[in-house]
Each structure stands twice: as structure tokens, then as C-alpha cells.
């Protein structure tokens, strides 16, 4: 694969810019300086160095981001900064998309990828991918509210009650809530239907993958093979 095309695929810009990066001596492959944009390279296990920063070639990327409050899951953010501003430019430019969304006032685990099949799998309601949320409520959470969430509450514009997969109180006003549907504002609407109100909402798990404890708000990391295996546990 020609080197300039590899750079393009990894988000380093249009063809002309990638050729200029190589011709100006700013690119290395596996530690070797390159100046010919049309050099043939095997992308497997290839480490690119651009302006001194290393990037492992990845045909597709899978990312976990700890989304902070006050960021929008959109490239065309209107009232708040975009989550894409938290990513290095090459990752944002190669076309990663949020895998599902979190409201600007919600926080926690957000997946991003440029793999269309992966995005479809983890956003399709038919797949029923489980998600866990740490919910801080306005009022103390009663046993009756926990029972209602577990057995099912009727949301506006829904024909049948919707039940949490699991609901556990972890504080007077705090619950861990597991759902599988992913309807619009579902957690907030469920708590309202149970007679309470959400004050803050953090997504802590998708499938079998937990938000890493060492991933601070605003930080991201690649999902590796073991993470993708955990994620697939619905």
C-alpha cells in the first residue's frame, strides 16, 4: 500500500497534504525516515511517526471516551463544545462517529468508531445491548420506586411498560440502573415515571465493558481485542 494512502486512511489529511508531509521528511515508518510518498509499505504492524509522534496503523479504530459534562456528541455542536474536540486531530478526521449518544449534561462511557458494522451492532435496538447508568436522583429512592423500575413503568407515548434489567440502590439518592432498549431519554423518563427525578447521569457500562477506573473525564483510549470481547457480552 502506498505510504501517502496509508496516511490518508489514518486521518492525516487529503492526498496533497499527506504527500507534502512525507516529502518534507516529517514521516517515519517503523523508525525509518521516508521521503517518497509512493513507497510501498505493508500496513500490518506498521508504526507511523508523524512529527515525532507514533501512531500504530489501525484499519478500523474503536475508542472509549469518558465524556465530561457540557459536551455534545455532534460534529456540528450548537451550544457546547463537541466531544470530537477531546480527540487528537487524526482520529477526529478519519471519520469516527459516536456509537450512540449522551446528552450534554450526561457523562461517562462513550464509544466511537469508524466501523459502520460495529456502530450498527451497538446502536440497533434489535441487538438489545445492555447499558448501566449511575443515577443520582433529586429525592431519596424508595423501595416502591425500585420495585416499579424492576417490574416496569409506562412512559409517555409508549404502549407497554418498560422494565429495567436490574436496579440496585447504592445510596439514599443513588441507583445503578441497567437497561437494554436505549429509547430517547429513557433513564430520565423511567425515573420520572417512577416518581423521582434525575439530577445526574453517568453511563458506566456497555455490554460487558466497564468504564475504566483510570480513565479520567475527557480522556480516551483505544479498545483492544480483550475490550471488544467484553463489550460483546450483552
Q: Check 103, 105, 178, 210 and give the catalytic one.
A: 103
d(CA 203, CA 214): 15
Q: What is the DSSP-derived secondary structure letter of residue 153?
A: B
Cell of 209: 465493558
Cell of 88: 487528537
Cβ contact 67:110 at 8 Å: yes
Residue 178 appears among annotated catalytic residues: no
Q: How many CB atoms lie within 10 A of CB 90?
A: 17
Give the position of cell 433529586. 138
Cβ contact 173:122 at 8 Å: no
d(CA 21, CA 36): 10
Hey, CA dihedral for 211, 212, 213, 219, is it positive or negative?
Answer: negative
Cell of 133: 447508568
231 by DSSP, 3-state: which? helix
Which residues are tagged catalytic? 103
Amino acid at each position: 500500500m502506498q505510504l501517502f494512502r496509508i496516511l490518508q486512511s489514518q486521518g492525516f489529511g487529503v492526498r496533497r497534504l499527506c504527500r507534502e508531509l512525507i516529502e518534507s521528511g516529517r514521516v517515519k515508518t517503523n523508525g525509518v525516515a521516508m521521503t517518497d510518498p509512493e513507497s510501498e509499505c505493508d500496513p500490518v504492524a506498521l508504526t507511523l511517526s508523524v512529527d515525532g509522534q507514533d501512531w500504530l496503523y489501525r484499519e478500523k479504530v474503536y475508542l472509549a471516551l469518558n465524556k465530561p459534562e457540557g459536551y455534545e456528541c455532534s460534529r456540528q455542536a450548537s451550544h457546547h463544545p463537541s466531544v470530537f474536540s477531546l480527540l487528537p486531530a487524526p482520529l477526529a478526521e478519519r471519520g469516527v462517529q459516536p456509537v450512540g449518544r449522551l446528552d450534554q449534561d450526561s457523562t461517562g462511557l462513550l464509544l466511537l468508531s469508524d466501523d459502520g458494522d460495529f456502530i450498527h451492532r451497538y446502536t440497533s435496538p434489535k441487538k438489545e445491548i445492555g447499558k448501566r447508568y449511575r443515577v443520582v436522583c433529586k429525592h431519596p429512592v424508595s423501595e416502591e420506586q425500585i420495585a416499579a423500575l424492576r417490574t416496569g413503568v409506562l412512559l409517555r407515548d409508549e404502549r407497554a411498560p418498560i422494565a429495567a434489567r436490574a436496579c440496585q440502590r447504592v445510596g439514599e439518592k443513588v441507583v445503578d440502573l441497567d437497561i437494554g432498549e436505549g429509547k430517547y431519554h429513557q433513564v430520565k423518563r423511567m425515573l420520572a415515571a417512577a416518581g423521582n427525578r434525575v439530577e445526574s447521569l453517568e453511563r458506566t457500562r456497555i455490554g460487558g465493558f466497564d468504564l475504566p477506573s483510570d480513565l479520567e473525564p475527557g480522556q480516551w483510549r483505544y479498545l483492544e481485542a480483550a475490550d471488544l470481547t467484553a463489550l460483546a457480552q450483552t
